[in-house]
Chains A and B, each alone.
Chain A
Amino acid sequence: MTHLARIALAALTLAFAAPAGAQMQDENANDFTEKLEIGISTDEIAITSDFRGADLTIFGAVDGFDPNLLVQGKYNIIVSLEGPKDNATVRKKERVFGIWVNTSSMTFELVPESYSLSSTRDIETIAPPGEMGNMGIGVDHMRLVPLGFVGDGSNLGEFRNAFRRIRETSGVYERDPGGVQFISSSLFKASVRLPANVPNGVHVVRAYLFRDGTFVAAKALPLRVVKTGVEQVITQTAHQQPFFYGLFAVLLAVITGWGASLLFRKE
């Protein structure tokens, strides 16, 4: 039951050849010499009928680091696995004439369906909350922009908190503050998790490098999650040929019902 599809992932090359320094300086006004690289061995994960979630290991390397800062533990890495984005509606129930009815709702624009965060330590201690908020790293800093008219916005916080809490308790949003480990001075390993009820589509692995509380560099890699075999065929047919899918479902029911009555009559 606890079978987890363990996906082994290879490290990317540790090219210590001189980085394109000039280009780096153009991108970063702060003159950072550090460069971040990450790699995963596959860009596709297949969901089979017994899928119970998967652990993903992501390897990465920091180039051009300052050895003194590294020894002091001033480098921190955050790795996230973000699911496909979709609008999400939070609804609130209230008691109306004795029964519980959804009375108010708020829709948040394009939020990830799943989110797994792994870091070298608690992300609140890596950089000031303002910076995390600007970059939208972590469940607490994720951008939750309400869609449409929300009145005076007084209940915005309440709905945002409810959204975060529900997504975290249902296991689709999670964080692991010790999930990134340095395995050598420049090489690190991060583990993120795909939940069992993972949405299909393009997920994004993002890695962020921080030096002494300041953001230095980021890298992103896509990861496709697809249903395979029968599941894939069924989902695809249901959405692309819905009429024939429905017809087939009815036919299946007719054959099953009729077949059983014929089968049992002979006995």
Chain B
Amino acid sequence: MTIYLPIAELSVNILIILGMGAAVGFLSGMFGVGGGFLITPLLIFYNIPPVVAVATGANQVVASSISGAITHFRRGTIDIKLGTVLLCGGLLGATLGVWLFSFLRRAGQLDLVISLLYVVLLGSVGSLMLWESVRAMRKAAKNQATSLRRPGQHNWVHGLPLKMRFKKSKIYLSVIPVAALGFCIGILTSVMGVGGGFIMVPAMIYLLRIPTNVVVGTSLFQIVFVSAYTVIVQASTNYTVDIVLAFVLMIAGVIGAQYGVRVGQKLRGEQLRALLALLVLAVGIRLAIELVIPPKDIYSVVSAGFGF
């Protein structure tokens, strides 16, 4: 069963796309991540032009993050003020990111940069997560209490000026690192088609020392808006959002996520993190291999109307 993707301008097997969406949805529900970092590489492996994969991936992230964001909003676990500062940085970052995206595309280096960014980010985040979760599992085996957050500790970040009080998070923090974090994540969203939760959550916990209870909700708040903004800007400047592809992925994704959540609840936190780390590393390694092995053809042809 094939379906024609009007923007990607090719026919694909709808069952493969549905399967991809469901599998990533399942994993994202299980691990509580947006899944953008999985969907975009998978689409690229399936020969969807990277330009379309990235823009469409951002659209899928909106769908997979919105329900989580709403749930957190109802529970009151979003620090709107902190989220808004993050968002300001995020929107600026996304704008620069889309510009960078167009520039790299014209220069013929977009695919390389996307792959390199994925390899570096997935590799480092995956390794850190794996190391941390293995340590946590060892401690758990010795019956020691584990905590993700070491409260009361301060680092250089807390010495920066322009401090602002975030009541919900109960912290007094400079807006510079917050906006800078949002800015970096915004660039990643528009260049890589990821929500960036897998980087933002650890950064907020370890670097900014924001209380864990508001971290996930606030990061989802920022992700929803920055991804939505990215989709609109990508659609307006590069015309690369494939709504048919996005819709098929979303439908399969949100259903898969519901089942993933159920499985995720049965697993322990550190086991879940170790599994996620392995998954992140696997995707990173797969992309790294692609960069290193000699390509089937060292030449490629790109038509001006549509840069692959």
Which residues of A pack against B, CB within 8 Å? Answer: 1, 47-52, 86-95, 98-102, 105, 107, 113, 159, 162-163, 165-167, 196-197, 199, 227, 230-231, 234-235, 238-239, 242-243, 245-250, 252-254, 256-261, 264
Contacts and interface: CB of A to CB of B under 8 A. Distances in A.
Interface string B292-308: 10110111111111000
B232 A250 contact: yes
B250 A256 contact: yes
Nearest to A233: B6
Nearest to B297: A166
Given A89-B302, A258-B70, 13 more contacts: A47-B4, A50-B2, A52-B11, A89-B301, A91-B301, A100-B294, A100-B298, A101-B112, A102-B109, A254-B66, A257-B64, A261-B70, A264-B258
Contacts of A49: 3-4
Nearest to B288: A99
Contacts of B272: none
A235 B9 CA distance: 10
Interface residues of B, number: 55
Contacts of A247: 232
B231 interface: yes
Given A166-B297, A252-B250, A257 B62 contact: yes
A86 B303 CA distance: 7
A88 B302 contact: yes
Contacts of B297: 166
25 contacts: A49-B3, A52-B11, A89-B108, A89-B303, A91-B300, A99-B292, A100-B294, A102-B108, A113-B303, A163-B299, A197-B11, A199-B303, A238-B243, A242-B235, A242-B239, A243-B232, A245-B235, A246-B235, A247-B232, A256-B63, A256-B251, A256-B254, A257-B62, A260-B258, A261-B71
B294 A253 contact: no
Given A249-B246, A264-B258, A88 B301 contact: yes
Nearest to A167: B301
B246 A93 contact: no
A249 B255 CA distance: 19
A254 B251 CA distance: 12
A235 B4 contact: no
Contacts of A90: 299-302
A246 B153 CA distance: 43
